[in-house]
A and B are shown apart, each in its own frame.
Chain A
Amino acid sequence: MAYSEKVVDHYNNPRNVGSFDKGDAAVGTGLVGAPACGDVMKLQIKVNEAGVIEDARFKTFGCGSAIASSSLATEWIKGKTLDEAATIKNTEIAEHLALPPVKIHCSVLAEDAIKAAINDYKAKHGESAAAAE
C-alpha cells in the first residue's frame, strides 16, 4: 500500500507523542478504539484558565494512517478553544492526509479521540458532555 507523503512524515516524525498526568485537573483524556479492531488512540489535552488547549499529547496503537491521524489532530487542536477543537471533522483530517477509503476510519477515530478528551475535561469541571453531539 502506498502512503501519502504526509502520512509517512507523521509516521516518521510523530508530533506530540507522550502522556500527561491523567489526574491533573487541567488535563482531559480520550481513549477510543479497541485492540481487537487493531486501533486504539489515547489523546490528551491540557487546557488553560482561558479555556484554550495549550498543549496536547497522543499515543496510538494502529496502522500508519492511525498514527498520522492522531499526530495531526494534536497539532490542529493546540491553541484552539474547546469549542473550536470540537468542530474538527474527520473529513478534514482524511483530506489533509490523503487517506484512501479503506483508511477513513482512522480519521473518524481521531475525531472521536478529540471529542472524548474534551468531554473528559468538561466532566472533570462539572460540565455536561455535550461536545460529542
Chain B
Amino acid sequence: MSLESRATTPGPSVLRNRPDLPIYLDYQATTPCDPRVVDAMLPYFTQKFGNPGSRTHAYGWEAEDAVETARRQVADIIGADEREVIFTSGATESNNLAIKGVAHFYRDRKNHIITVVTEHKCVLDSCRHLEQEGFEVTYLPVQPNGLIDLAALEAAITNKTVLVSVMAVNNEIGVIQPLAEIGRITRAKGVFFHTDAAQAVGKIPLDVEAMNIDMMSISGHKIYGPKGIGALYVRRKPRVRLQAMITGGGQERGMRSGTLPTPLCVGLGEACRIAKAEMAAETERLKALQNRFLTGIRSRLTEVVLNGDEEHRIPGNLNISFAFVEGESLIMGIKELSVSSGSACTSASLEPSYVLRALGVDEEMAHTSLRIGFGRFTTDAEVDYAVEQLASSVERLRAMSPLWEMHQEGIDLKSIEWAGH
C-alpha cells in the first residue's frame, strides 16, 4: 500500500522498487479512505458539527448544506435526482430496506420476489426472512460465466411479482450483470428493479434512467469513502414506496429516521465526486494492472483458471483457481499479500464459495481459488511483487501436491474413487 509512501519522502524500499509490505490486494472487501475524502470530512467533526436537522440556527444550516451537497454528488454518479437519495449506514442496510421495505409496503397486492443465487448474503438473507413471513422468492441460477439468463428472468415474473433484485457487479468474481436489459424487462412488466451496486458504483457507468433502475444500494467504504455510510436510491417517478425499518424523527423522507452523520455523508459525497471524475482514467489504469498481472502469472504457471465471464467484468477483481493447490495453504505462503480466499477452511463451514459453486465450478477447483483485488493505490511494483510471490508459492505447493503429481503422470483425477470424509 502506497498511501503513506506517497505522502512522505520515498524510503529505501521504494528506491529499490520494492513495495511496502504487506501489499493490500483485497479492494472488494474494503478500500482505504482517499486522503481527499478525509480532508473534506474533518471540519464536520469539530467546527462544523451542527445537526443537519436543526432549522433554527447557522450550525444546522451549515450542516444541512453539506449534507445536501453530498446528496447531489451521490445522485450525480448514478444519473439520479438528489431527492431520490437516502443516506443509510451502508449497503447492507440499503439492501435490507429496499427488499423488505418494498415487500412489506405492497404485501396486500403482491407477494413474490425474484433474486439470484450469487447475490450478497445480505440480499439472500433479507429474502429468507421474507420467505419466513410467507413471501415467495425465486432464486435464479446463473450461467457458467456468472451472468443470469434473461429469458429465465422474464419467465419467472408473474402477476404476483413485486420486485426483481439483481446485483450490478458480483463481489466475489467481478462479473457485471446486464442491468439495462433487466431494466427493460422489469419496466415492461411493471415490476420494481433493485440493484445492489456496492461493487459497481464508481467502477462502471451507471444511469438509473437509461437502465430503468428503481432502487440502487450504494456503499461508502467500497469507493474510498468512510465505513458506516451508504445510500439507497429510491425512484420518484414512477414512485417506489417503502415501509421504513427505522422509524423516529422522519428524516430522509420518512424512509430512514435518525440524525444524519454529517461527516460521513460528506465523505460519501466526496468519494462519489472523485470516483466519477476519475472513472475513465482509473478504469484504463486498472485494466493495465490486471493485464500485467495475468500476463505475469500465465508466463510462470499453467493450469490457472479465471472464474467468471472474461469480458463482462470490472477490472481490478480477479478470481483465480490455481489448480492442485489448496487455497488456504496458498494464502499461508503469500502472507505478505493481503488477498481473500474463495475457498474452504478460512471459514468455519469448510464449504467452498457458494458463488463459485453456482457457476458450476467443481468443488476441487473452488478449493483452489483466490480473489485478487486491485484498486486506486495499487502500483506496478506491487503487482510485479504479487506475481513473483504467488507464482513461487504455487510452484512450491504443487511440488508437494499429490494431485499435481498425478496430473503430471497423466492420471485423470475424476477416474479415482476418492473416500470422502
Contacts and interface: CB of A to CB of B under 8 A. Distances in A.
Interface in B300-332: 324-326, 328-329, 332
B405 A63 contact: no
Nearest to B399: A17
Contact of A17 (B363, B400, B419): B400
A55 B348 CA distance: 35
Interface string B398-419: 0111111100000001000011
Interface residues of B, number: 30
Interface in A98-128: 102, 105, 108-109, 112
Given A11-B332, A59-B400, A60-B401, A35 B364 contact: yes
A64 B413 CA distance: 22
The residue in B345, B346, B348, B364 that gathers the most chain A C-beta atoms within 10 A of its C-beta is B345
A35 B403 contact: yes
Interface string B343-354: 111101010100
Interface in B39-79: none
B421 to A, nearest CB: 6
A63 B420 contact: no
A23 interface: no
B402 A38 contact: no
B362 interface: yes
Contacts of A79: none
A37 B420 contact: yes
A35 B420 CA distance: 9
Interface stretch (A26-34, A46-54, A81-89): A26-34
Interface residues of A, number: 33
B364 A62 contact: no
Contacts of A35: 363-364, 367, 403, 413, 418
A27 B405 CA distance: 18
B350 A36 contact: no
Contact of B348 (A17, A62, A102): A102
B interface, over-half SS: loop
A interface, over-half SS: mixed
Contacts of A14: 400
A109 B329 CA distance: 16
Contacts of B401: 59-61
Nearest to A33: B421
Contacts of B329: 11, 62-64, 66-67
Contacts of A59: 400-402, 405
A73 interface: no
Contact of B421 (A11, A31, A37): A37
B325 A61 contact: yes
Nearest to B346: A1
Contacts of A62: 326, 329
A34 B400 contact: no
Nearest to B335: A8
A36 to B, nearest CB: 4
Given A1-B346, A66-B326, 9 more contacts: A11-B333, A14-B400, A35-B364, A38-B367, A59-B401, A60-B402, A63-B345, A102-B348, A102-B350
- For the complex of A and B, the 5 pairs showing the least CB-CB separation, nearest first, are A34-B418, A35-B364, A42-B402, A36-B363, A63-B328
28 contacts: A17-B399, A31-B402, A32-B419, A33-B418, A34-B421, A36-B362, A36-B367, A37-B421, A38-B326, A38-B328, A38-B345, A38-B367, A39-B326, A39-B421, A40-B418, A42-B405, A59-B402, A60-B400, A60-B401, A60-B402, A61-B324, A61-B325, A61-B403, A64-B328, A102-B350, A105-B421, A109-B421, A112-B421
